[in-house]
């Protein structure tokens, strides 16, 4: 918290100033003060969020939004303490899924939004698979706000130089990896020191190896993580590492250091998420990098589909004095047509979890491509393939997979040993944590 105290003070002072300026026509005793803790700390993003707050308050003059922004790490630490002490905010913005939001639900800290969600018609606006990530025991506890996907960024000039085409199969992908390595390039700018990032490529490979039905059964039913198809994926990941397709010191460099190799033209490809598109485009303008994206080809013959994920979600404190006002704000910030242009703009580059037409928005060609990719999945009832299962599934389990993938690369453990540990951790997590609900909005 010490690292963001000055910024938190600026955000709070700004919010209070807005409250005073707009609240003169409303008596103090009639004002509903709604405290919101979020992660919009960047000055440009903070200014955009404050504009959105201003828009909301003009529509709801009896409500005052007081924001406090902090990094995800700082916010999560503060939230745990504040919620336990009964001093948490009215609205909080944290990771969706069982590993984070599910724990607040289990502890009784989250407000049940289900009745409000349906009475406001949000089931007609929010994409089903995004709503599914905040659904536990057939109840809705938040609204996801950052719909994301995961793909492979590639250097168009390197591909052109070597006469390479975008791969459609796993064999073609490995062939491209071998050719870029032979030409003196690092195939993937992918660092393995950052634990939360380590498994992302493995998660996607596992999903495409298992196929839709089996992955669905593993994630939401009685399937097992030590299944032969998952073993195949982990062995393939180990093969990528052993073949030298990752940076030579991959286990010693972090997420950004690995990505930098791609941005500098040293690596031919960079498996990463849509959340890095804005940053990659900014660096491309500065360096002249010409890039494009493609979906990671499946390990099996079945096209599983685009990896999907949600980042954070807005949730409401179960003890808030103003549940309706809080719900009004959550609905506005996540689904309102008025805020969509701001979120999709270069300022925020956040894809709200609603059904919309990407062609209606003027964005860069690469981001437009991303929007179209995500909107092509709007019919799906739940996430079956994900490059970031760690935000969806229990924290106890993700700790094991993160360290396990590193151990396999080091040769400290075999893929079989790691998957045995993974399955055991899964069984423990299923007993102790709030798990994803296998139902969707359209199955209730």
Percent of the chain with pLDDT strictly greater than 70: 86
Task: Please state the φ and ψ torsions of residue 8, each to the nearest 5 degrees.
Answer: -60, -40
For residue 126, the cross-strand partners are: 354
Look at the alpha carbons of 208, 127, 91, 118 in this order and tell me if their dihedral is positive or negative. negative
Q: How confident is the model at residue 9 (pLDDT cuts 50, 70, 90)?
A: very low
- Burial letters for 3-33: b for 16+ Cβ neighbours within 10 Å, e otherwise? ebeebbeebeebbeebbeebbeeeeeeeebb
Q: Enumerate residues 6+ apart whose C-beta is below 8 A from 21.
A: none
In eight-state DSSP terms, residue 290 is -
Position with higher pLDDT, 6 vs 41? 41
Give the mean pLDDT of 90-117: 90
* Lowest-confidence segment of 1-10, 234-243, 366-375, 418-427 by average pLDDT: 1-10
In order, the DSSP letters of 136-190 are ETTEE--EE--EEEEEEEEEHHHHHHTT----SSHHHHHHHHHHHHHTT-EEE--
Give the mean pLDDT of 18-41: 73
pLDDT at 317: 98
Residue-wise pLDDT tens digits, 161-176: 999 999 999 999 999 9
Helices (H) and strands (E) in the chain, counts: 18, 12
Q: How confident is the model at residue 444 (pLDDT cuts 50, 70, 90)?
A: very low
**H-helix or E-strand containing 92?**
strand 91-95
Residue 332: pLDDT over 90: yes
Q: Is residue 105 a contact partner of residue 434, using CB atoms and an 8 Å limit?
A: yes
Residue-wise pLDDT tens digits, 269-281: 999 988 889 889 9
CA angle 328–435–70, rounded 5-degree value: 50
Residue 6: pLDDT over 70: no
Three-state DSSP class for residue 221: coil
pLDDT at 394: 64
Residue-wise pLDDT tens digits, 108-166: 999 999 999 999 999 999 999 888 888 888 899 999 988 888 899 999 999 999 999 99
| Residue 218 to residue 225: CA distance in whole angstroms | 7
Longest dimension (CA), the chain: 72
Q: Which domains does the chain have, with CATH numbers?
A: 2-146+311-356 (3.40.190.10), 148-309+375-444 (3.40.190.10)
Give the mean pLDDT of 353-361: 91
pLDDT at 98: 73
Residue 29: pLDDT over 50: yes
Q: How confident is the model at residue 439 (pLDDT cuts 50, 70, 90)?
A: very low
Position with higher pLDDT, 434 vs 60? 60
Residue 396: pLDDT over 90: no
Residue 303: pLDDT over 80: no
Residue-wise pLDDT tens digits, 46-86: 999 999 999 999 999 999 999 999 988 888 889 999 999 99
């Amino acid at each position: 918290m010490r690292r963001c105290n000055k910024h938190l003070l600026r955000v709070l002072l700004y919010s209070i100033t807005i409250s005073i300026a707009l609240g003169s026509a409303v008596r103090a005793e009639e004002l509903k003060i709604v405290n919101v803790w979020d992660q919009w700390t960047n000055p440009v993003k903070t200014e955009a969020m404050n504009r959105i707050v201003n828009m909301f308050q003009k529509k709801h003059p009896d409500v005052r939004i007081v924001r406090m922004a902090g990094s995800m790490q700082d916010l999560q630490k503060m939230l745990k303490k504040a919620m336990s002490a009964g001093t948490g905010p009215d609205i909080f913005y944290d990771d969706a899924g069982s590993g984070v939001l599910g724990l607040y639900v289990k502890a009784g800290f989250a407000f049940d939004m289900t009745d409000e969600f349906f009475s406001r018609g949000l089931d007609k606006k929010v994409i089903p698979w995004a709503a599914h990530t905040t659904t536990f025991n057939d109840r809705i506890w938040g609204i996801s706000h950052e719909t994301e996907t995961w793909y492979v960024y590639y250097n168009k000039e390197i591909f052109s130089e070597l006469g390479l085409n975008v791969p459609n199969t796993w064999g073609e992908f490995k062939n491209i990896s071998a050719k870029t390595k032979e030409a003196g390039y690092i195939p993937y700018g992918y660092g393995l020191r950052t634990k939360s990032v380590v498994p992302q490529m493995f998660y996607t490979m596992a999903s495409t190896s298992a196929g839709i039905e089996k992955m669905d059964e593993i994630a939401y039913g009685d399937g097992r993580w030590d299944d032969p198809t998952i073993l195949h994926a982990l062995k393939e990941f180990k093969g990528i590492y052993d073949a030298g397709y990752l940076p030579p010191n991959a286990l010693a460099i972090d997420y950004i250091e690995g990505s930098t190799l791609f941005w500098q033209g040293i690596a031919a490809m960079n498996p990463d998420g849509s959340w890095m598109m804005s940053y990659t485009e900014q660096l491309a303008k500065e360096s002249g990098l010409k890039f494009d994206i493609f979906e990671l080809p499946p390990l099996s013959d079945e096209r599983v589909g685009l990896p999907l994920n949600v980042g954070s979600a807005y949730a409401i404190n179960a003890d808030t004095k103003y549940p309706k006002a809080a719900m009004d704000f959550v609905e506005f910030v996540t689904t309102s047509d008025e805020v969509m242009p701001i979120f999709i703009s270069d300022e925020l580059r956040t894809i709200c979890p609603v059904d919309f037409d990407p062609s209606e928005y003027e964005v860069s060609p690469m981001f437009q491509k991303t929007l179209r990719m995500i909107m092509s999945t709007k019919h799906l009832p739940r996430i079956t393939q994900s490059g970031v299962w760690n935000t969806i599934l229990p924290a106890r389990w993700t700790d094991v997979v993160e360290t396990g993938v590193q151990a396999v690369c080091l040769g400290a453990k075999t893929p079989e040993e790691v998957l045995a540990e993974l399955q055991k951790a899964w069984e423990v997590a299923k007993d102790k944590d709030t798990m994803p609900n296998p139902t969707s909005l359209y199955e209730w």
